[in-house]
Amino acid sequence: MRLRLAALVAVLTVAPFAPAQNPKAPPAKAAPSPRQAALDEMIQDFVKARREASNAIRAAKTDQERTAAEAKGPKEADFLPRVHKLIAENGTDDVAAEVLAFAVFGLDTKDEKVFAALGQNVKTPRSGGSSRWP
């Protein structure tokens, strides 16, 4: 019993002086590719335009002001050229997948080029190998 108590006291007196464990620092993130940077910038521009329009709509007091504020919102035509450029550079990488998702879900586009890129570059269970789909 005394031995256990002595060991406990020894551990408690030495523990504050023991070197702290140095967990491994997370690996540094690689600089984003120019395509990823362009995508990030496009999304930030979209979010900024949507936020500004939303604030203007909330501040509108008349129907005319509200209509004018809604017109300030992000437009598909403002972003589609940037989407097309990123898809044209490489339509099969992760950036292209994010661009296509942004176009379809963020812009709610019905653009033929976007859907053609989806049809050409998206892998489905039917596109290769065996699948459980009929």
pLDDT in tens, 13-67: 655 555 555 567 666 677 778 999 999 999 999 999 999 999 999 999 999 999 9
Q: Which two tokens stand for residue 34?
A: 């120019």
Number of helices (H), then strands (E), belonging to the chain: the values are 6, 0
Q: Do residues 83 and 102 touch, judged by C-beta distance below 8 A?
A: yes
Q: Where do the domains of the chain lie? A: 34-122
Task: State the DSSP code for 62.
Answer: S
pLDDT in tens, 77-125: 999 999 999 999 888 888 988 999 999 999 998 999 999 988 887 665 5
